[in-house]
Structure 1
Amino acid sequence: MRSAEHRAGAHRVHLRVAALLAALALGGCASLPSFLSDTRVAAAPAAAAAASAPQAAGAGEAEPQVVVTPAAQRAFDEARRLMRAGRLDDAERVLLALTKSDPDLGGPHANLGVIYRDRGNRLAPAIAELETAVRLSRRQPLFHNELGVAYRQAGQFDKARQAYEQALALDPNCAPAVLNLGILQDMYLGDGARALALYERYLALTPQGDAAVTKWVADLKNRKPAAAAAAKKETP
């Protein structure tokens, strides 16, 4: 059984993603500048604004333009600082205030969702905040990935799969979503072949390597031959 190892690995992935999410971005998974929202920022150059607000997947409509005021950016930067310092209660208060003063920004909702979810006992509000973040910022793959993690923790495996797949539809190279979908397929949906393909894809996207995932790949590759050999021994 690799469930404990998977859970430990998944927890490490979630912590890494949470650290990335604390620097909400105009871009995708590969590079996350410290902007408040993935939608257009006030006074951004025209080319940057166009790049940061592509058409919504399958919707044929652009994300609504959102103006990020200097005061909102300063408050969000303070919330990020508090999160890095482990002062989650203080960060939560700043983020809650931002959701009221700037309700169209997805970033504060996403970070609140991560805070609630990673405390372990507030999954319902975590899902609500992350669903709001996804609704407000449909083009941010990390928001979909984080929502998938919350769904998986709540036992809503089909919704988790859909959230991870939406993240990958937005950015096929979003490594956290690739790995989380692999863990879901392996541990919760029982599709070892799909999990193996996803783990190998994740390793291809991870130049520094990942020893735990490398072990999972070896285990999955050895599982079928071992099962076949056992079946042969049991045949009358």
Structure 2
Amino acid sequence: MRCAEPKLLLVAALAALLAACGGTGTVRPTPSSQPAAEEPAPEEAEPEPEPEKEDPEGRSEAAVKLMRIGKTDEAIEAFRSLTQDFPGFSGPYTNLGILYAGREQREAAIGALSQAIQLNPENKVALNLLAIQYVESGNFERAEQSWLQALTVDPGYAAAHLNLGMLYERNLGRPQAAITQYRAYQSAMGGDALQVDVWVAEIEAATTTGGNAQAVPAMPSLETEQ
């Protein structure tokens, strides 16, 4: 069902943000036919040094690691500390918004994401996440404004096109506007959006001949994570 899509997009956005902030993964070694050499006993690992107070990048990376391992309280405290020491940075507020949204603390999430956008009006990730929070609180007009602003920043932002299309179809009763956004999403995805083809066909069938056309059979559900 499409009602779960905004939640999925929020999870996808979080995964993308963590990937962007966290570096590359470990490459698996290639299997070898040679016998393994005897390795010395591993030494006890030394604890990682705490990043310097005036090192925002190092502190941000440490906070993202806390997000990854589920230490939400510690991550929130780390990002709050960053907002106090570096009040002009948009990123820590975006991450706070993600953490608050994950806890369903909607007002706190909206406040953090709004601050992120105030500091950086071109923060399309924050704009997308803020719009999702507005939808969940029933403020559809503000959600539309946030997604339109995100698309002003990046006209090819696929997540914003998809979410805006769903908003127009499900909440604002604007089927033609929904089709426009779904088509834009398909274009941004390079045509790889079969589920959206079904949605467009359903809308067109419902609006043809006054809504008396036969409904298009639903296709199997496809994964929609970005």
| Short-chain TM bin | 0.7 to 0.9
- Partner of residue 14 from structure 2, selected from 1, 14, 18: 18
Alignment partner of 1:184 out of 151, 167, 179: 167
Counterpart amino acid of residue 8 in structure 2: R
Q: Contact 1:10/1:183 (CA < 8 Å) preserved in 2?
A: no
In the TM superposition, what is the alpha-carbon distance from 1:98 to its structure 2 partner? 0.9
1:97 equivalent in structure 2: 81
1:224 deviates by: 1.4
- The ranges of structure 1 where at least 4 consecutive aligned residues each deviate by more than 4 angstroms after the TM superposition are none
Report how many aligned residue pairs link the two structures: 183
User: TM-score with structure 2 length normalisation?
Assistant: 0.74
C-alpha change, 1:201 and 1:77, in structure 2 (3 Å) is: same
Residue in 1 aligned with 2:28? none
Name the counterpart of 1:193.
Answer: 176
Q: Which residue of 2 aligns with 1:162?
A: 145
Aligned equivalent of 2:90, options 78, 100, 106: 106
What TM-score do you get using the length of structure 1 for normalisation?
Answer: 0.71
Q: CA–CA distance in 2 between the matches of 1:211 and 1:11?
A: 20
SS class of match (1:190): coil
Task: Indicate the residue corresponding to 2:101 in structure 1.
Answer: 117
- Which ranges of structure 2 fall in alignment gaps of 5 or more residues? 23-52, 214-226
Question: Greater shift after overlay, 188-197 or 210-219?
Answer: 210-219
Q: Distance in 2 between matches of 1:118 and 1:34?
A: 18
Query: For residues 79 and 208 of structure 1, what CA distance do their matches in structure 2 show?
Result: 37
How far apart, CA to CA, are the structure 2 residues paired with 1:169 and 1:219? 28
- Output the amino acid matched with 1:220: I
Amino acid at match of 1:87: K
- The structure having more radius of gyration, on CA atoms, is 2
Listed one character per residue, the Cα deviations across residues 153-180 of structure 1 (whole Å, up to 9, x for unaligned) are 1111111111110111111011111111
Deviations 1:24-43 (A, max 9, x none): xxxxxxxxx549xxxxxxxx
Query: 1:139, CA displacement in angstroms?
Result: 1.8
Render the CA deviation track for 1:18-65: whole Å, top value 9, x for unaligned: 222346xxxxxxxxx549xxxxxxxxxxxxxxxxxxxxxxxxxxxxxx
User: 2:125 & 2:147 partners in 1: Cα distance?
Assistant: 9
The structure 1 residue matched to 2:56, chosen from 68, 72, 93, is 72
Are residues 1:146 and 2:134 paired?
A: no
CA distance in 1, matches of 2:168, 2:14: 22
RMSD: 2.1
Whole-Å Cα distance in 1 between the matches of residues 151 and 141 of structure 2? Answer: 15
8 Å CA contact 1:22–1:111 kept in 2: the answer is no
The residue aligned with 1:173 is: 156
User: For 1:131, which of 114, 130, 135 is the aligned residue?
Assistant: 114
